[in-house]
Amino acid sequence: MFAKSRIECPQLRKKIMSAEEAVSFIHDKQTVGMSGFTGAGYPKSIPAALVEKAKSLRVSNQPFRINLWTGASTAPELDGVLAAIDGINMRLPYQSDPVCRQQINDGLMDYVDIHLSEVSQNAWSGFLGKLDIAVIEVAAIHADGRIIPSSSVGNNKTWVEQADMVILEVNDQQSVKLEGMHDIYYGTALAPNRKPILLTSPSDRIGEKYLSIPIEKIVAVVETSAPDRNSAFNPPDQISNQIADHILDFFSHEIKKGRLPKELLPIQSGVGNIPNAVLSGLEQGGYKNLTAYTEVIQDGMLGMLKSGSLSVVSATAFSLSPQALDEFNENIDFYRDKIILRQQDISNHPEIARRLGIIAMNGLIEADIYGNVNSTHIMGSRIMNGIGGSGDFARNGYLSIFMTPSICKNGAISAIVPMVSHVDHTEHDVKVIVTEQGLADLRGLSPRQRAKVVIEKCAHPLFKDRLYDYFDRACASKRGMHTPHILNEALSWHHNFETNGQM
């Protein structure tokens, strides 16, 4: 169908130009919404052309910095190259690029960390200011203007609706067989005009296969040929497998208790070695016809679809290793009916997470003995990546599971502390904490009960006695009360690390 060109629309063929020509539409201090979510579906040519434009302008002492909005993290070819030349004034809603992170923590770049489900609402409500231009990667454009989305959807629908102008990158390394895999929902509205989102199963399709953009908004079409940034995952290590085993034992217990069906409930999983170890364990454990309602599709999910452990996966993007991407492209006809890609305000929607009863599994940086979780900041002030979608699912899901190794930096840091240095998920939203040491089920427990379970089940032996000592002394102090703390010691572990390099 697209043998000669991925751009069949006559009106848009007239707007084909180079990336260098297309960036003439983007100016200093403008706000640009770009596609991309976890290294999938981000524009490949425009960011590099913006870097060259900035360098050229600065030769004559003309400034060039933009505000950059995306779906979530993207890739070094977008965030990294722009941050490296100090080309980003403000960034939202999530990032994972080391150069970008350094600039944020050095105070050179403003960063707005937002729950991913809320970005679209905030943009539509005007909280974020004006969006000048959208730069969106797509797979192809039909003659009638229908647009086949790329390997991620993210905030693309909102960006093209909000922006004054749109630049499209048509990437011939995205398979045209993605057509039919997307479900773009056009029924959202702002209060008080909202209606129920009629999605009652991860397999439901409630939207359209194509991205709709008024042709008059599209000012440039750039043809590109570049792959997504796909990084290979390391095989799960011993600690990841131990954490996975604790979670799998917990699922078996909950099924026996009648609190989970044998097919579980829809799974939401963060990205990384521990989640992949859990997925592998579910497959090896003989589970069948599971479902996933999540943000990203990672390697383990493809294998589970092949084996029948998973029957359907709903997400907003892929996050695949090169080997898994090859497998996906070779067998895309098989996967098309089993994978649904939605915009992130639907993939992460609180209403749907509550209705479906999501089992949310996400990582953390540190948790305190009462169940508060820090998933974003190192030592309270240095951003790591961002909250992403973990809060969307933790507060609204049926089960919120947070997992981490119990120590890092060869035992210099404990992931279980008296008081977290930054709170992303309060004790009210955290139901289960898991380390390689064990699993703490916090449901229905008072703060003092939670503290005992967290210390006993999750703390590393290097720190367990010290945590018990802190808790016992806090309970005995005049300020013991409902949630016992010794305020002048509560953050002393973090102070010790910053002073001595050891908690």
- For the annotated catalytic residues, the residue numbers are 295
- Residue matched to tokens 């131990």: 242
Nearest partner of 170 among 307, 37, 7, 29, judged by Cα: 7
Residue 340 backbone phi and psi in degrees, to 5? -125, 125
Report which of 500, 272, 467 is spatially closest to residue 388, judged by C-alpha positions. 272
Where b means 16+ CB within 10 Å and e means fewer, 419-458 reads: bbbbbbbebebbbbbbbbbbbbbbeebebbebbebbbebb
Cβ contacts of residue 251 below 8 Å, gap of 6+? Answer: 260, 264, 282
Tell me which DSSP letter residue 337 carries.
Answer: T
Q: How far apart are CA 19 and CA 295, in angstroms?
A: 30
CA 373 to chain CA mean position, Å: 17
Cβ-based neighbours of 431, under 8 Å, separated by 6 or more: 399, 400, 401, 441, 442, 443
Residues 6 or more apart whose CB falls under 8 angstroms from that of 253 comprise none
User: Coil, strand or helix: which one is 82?
Assistant: helix
Q: Which string of DSSP letters, residue by residue, matches 234-297?
A: PPP-HHHHHHHHHHHHHHHHHHHTTSS-TT-S-EEE-SSHHHHHHHHHHHHTT--SEEEE-SEE
What whole-number distance in Å separates Cα of residue 202 and Cα of residue 356?
8
> Is the Cβ–Cβ distance between 269 and 314 less than 8 Å?
no
